Amino acid sequence: LMTLGLVKPRYQAVSDLKRHIDYLKRNRLDPSEFMDALWTRLAYPLGAIAPAFLALPFAFGFLRSGGFGKRLMIGIVIALTYYFFARMISDLAGVYKLNLAIANLVPPLLLILGGTTYLVRSR
């Protein structure tokens, strides 16, 4: 238990996070910081695939609609906006005691939905 308290939640393994969350719940303490770290870690694969999926329309879309620099700039802006939006939603869910699982899964799903919509419209 002491070693779990020394390591920041975002650096702990999923099994350690679950164990610490269970301990905090049994002792009626607030596990929100550890739950946020757990759901951030569990949603990470989806959050890594979503930007790659969104890049598909820019890579295979109309190549004559703009230069490479324009598409690169749009991709960078979308990626930065996604990163800050996902972090903001997760932090707001922690502040307002909302479901952290939903808060960590909604941004990548929105990004996949946007990529799908853009891919369908560009064809």
Q: What is the DSSP letter of 122?
A: H
76-82 long-range CB contacts below 8 Å, 24 or more apart? 78/51, 78/54, 79/51, 82/50, 82/51, 82/107, 82/111
**Strand segments (E) across the chain:** none
- Amino acid at residue number 94: G
Looking up tokens 């820019």 gives 58
Q: Which helix (H) or strand (E) holds 66?
A: none
pLDDT attached to residue 3: 64
Question: What share of the chain has pLDDT > 90, as a percent?
Answer: 37
Please indicate, yes or no, whether the overall pTM of this predicted structure exceeds 0.85: no
Dihedral over Cα of 72, 109, 42, 103: its sign: positive
Instruction: Give 64-113 pLDDT, tens digit per residue.
Output: 666 777 777 887 888 889 899 999 999 999 899 899 999 999 999 998 88
Tell me the per-residue pLDDT of 21-36, one tens digit each, with 9 for 90 and over.
Answer: 999 999 999 898 899 9
Measured distance CA(111)–CA(86) in Å, rounded: 10
